[in-house]
A and B are shown apart, each in its own frame.
Chain A
Amino acid sequence: MMSPRTARSRRSGRSLAAAAALVVGAAVALSGCASTGTGSADSSTPSAFKQAAQDDSAPITVWADSTRLPDVQKYQKEHPDVKMNIVTYDGSADGSTYLQTKVQLFDRTGSGWPDVVFASPTDVTWASVPTNPSAQAFAAPVDQLVPSSTLQGFATGSLSPCEVDGHTYCLRNDIAQVVTWYNKKLMDQWGYKVPTTWQQYQALGEKVAAQHPGYVIGAVGDTNSQESYFWSSQCPAQQLVAKNTLKVDLSAPDCTRMASLLDPLIADKSVSTQGFFTQGFDGSKVLMAVGPSWYGQYLFNSAFKTPAGQIAAAAPLKWDGESSTSTGNVGGGIWMISSHSKNLKAASAVVTWLTTSTDNLQDAPTYPAYVAGAKAWLANPANKDYFADDVSSVFLAAADEVWTGWSNTKFSDATPWSNAVLPALTAGKSLTSTLPAWQTAIANQAKSVGYTVVTQ
Chain B
Amino acid sequence: MTTLQAQPLAVSASGSARRPARRRAGLAGYLFVAGYTVLLIAFGVFPTGYSVYLAVTNPRGQFTGLGQFTKVFADFRFGPAFEDIAVYLVMWLFLVVVLTVLVAVILRSRVSNKVSSVLRFLFYIPGALAGVASVLVWLFMLDPAVSPAAGLLRAMGLDNFDQVLAPGNLPVILVLIAFWTGAGGWIVVMYGALNNIPDEILEAARIDGAGPWKVAWYIQIPMISKWIVYMAILAFAAGTQLFVEPQLLQTASLNRVSPTWSPNELAYVFAFQNGDFNGAAAISIVLLAIGLLCAGLLVTRSGLFKLDDD
Contacts and interface: CB of A to CB of B under 8 A. Distances in A.
Interface in A287-323: none
Given A31-B65, A94-B255, A95-B255, A38 B59 contact: yes
Contacts of A277: 254
B162 A426 contact: yes
Interface in A110-164: 126, 131-133
Contact of B64 (A9, A12, A16, A36): A36
A447 to B, nearest CB: 8
B292 A39 contact: no
A34 B295 contact: no
B292 A12 contact: yes
B273 to A, nearest CB: 5
Interface stretch (B68-76, B81-89, B215-223): B68-76
Contacts of B256: 418-419, 422-423, 426
Contact of A34 (B60, B234, B258, B299): B60
B52 interface: yes
Contacts of A19: 48, 52, 288-289, 292
Contacts of B276: 38
Interface string A26-37: 110111111111
A242 to B, nearest CB: 22
Contact of A26 (B65, B145, B272): B65
Mostly helix, strand, loop or mixed at chain A's interface? helix
A423 B65 contact: no
A29 B163 CA distance: 49
Nearest to A25: B56
A40 B299 contact: no
A279 B295 contact: no
Contacts of B274: 38, 448-449
B131 interface: no
Given A23-B285, A279-B161, A13 B255 contact: no
Contacts of B71: 36
Interface residues of A, number: 64
Contacts of B133: none
A5 B230 CA distance: 9
Nearest to A11: B40
Given A16-B292, A100-B272, A426-B163, A419 B255 contact: yes
A278 interface: yes
B160 interface: yes
Interface in A402-420: 414-415, 418-419
Contacts of A20: 289, 292
Contacts of A419: 255-259
A228 to B, nearest CB: 15
B211 interface: no
B303 interface: no
Contacts of B52: 19, 22, 26
Contacts of B163: 426-427
B255 A223 contact: yes
A434 interface: no
Interface centre among A3, A105, A107, A279 (most CB of B within 10 A): A279
A274 interface: yes
A23 B146 CA distance: 49
B95 interface: no
B89 to A, nearest CB: 18
B303 to A, nearest CB: 12
Contacts of A35: 58, 62, 64, 67
A221 B163 CA distance: 12
Interface in B134-169: 143, 145-146, 160-163, 165-167
A36 B56 contact: no
Given A16-B295, A34-B67, A418-B255, 16 more contacts: A5-B230, A19-B289, A20-B292, A34-B57, A34-B58, A38-B59, A38-B274, A100-B272, A101-B272, A274-B162, A278-B162, A415-B255, A422-B162, A427-B163, A448-B77, A448-B274
30 contacts: A1-B189, A5-B234, A6-B230, A9-B233, A15-B48, A15-B292, A26-B56, A29-B63, A33-B63, A33-B64, A34-B57, A34-B58, A34-B67, A35-B64, A36-B71, A37-B59, A39-B60, A101-B272, A104-B275, A105-B272, A107-B275, A278-B160, A279-B145, A280-B143, A280-B146, A419-B255, A423-B165, A423-B167, A423-B256, A427-B166
Query: What 10 pairs between A and B have smallest CB-CB spacing?
Result: A34-B62, A418-B255, A280-B145, A101-B272, A444-B76, A36-B67, A33-B65, A131-B275, A16-B292, A30-B65
Interface of B: 2, 6, 48, 52, 55-60, 62-68, 71, 75-77, 143, 145-146, 160-163, 165-167, 189, 230, 233-234, 254-259, 271-279, 285, 288-289, 291-293, 295-296, 299, 304-305
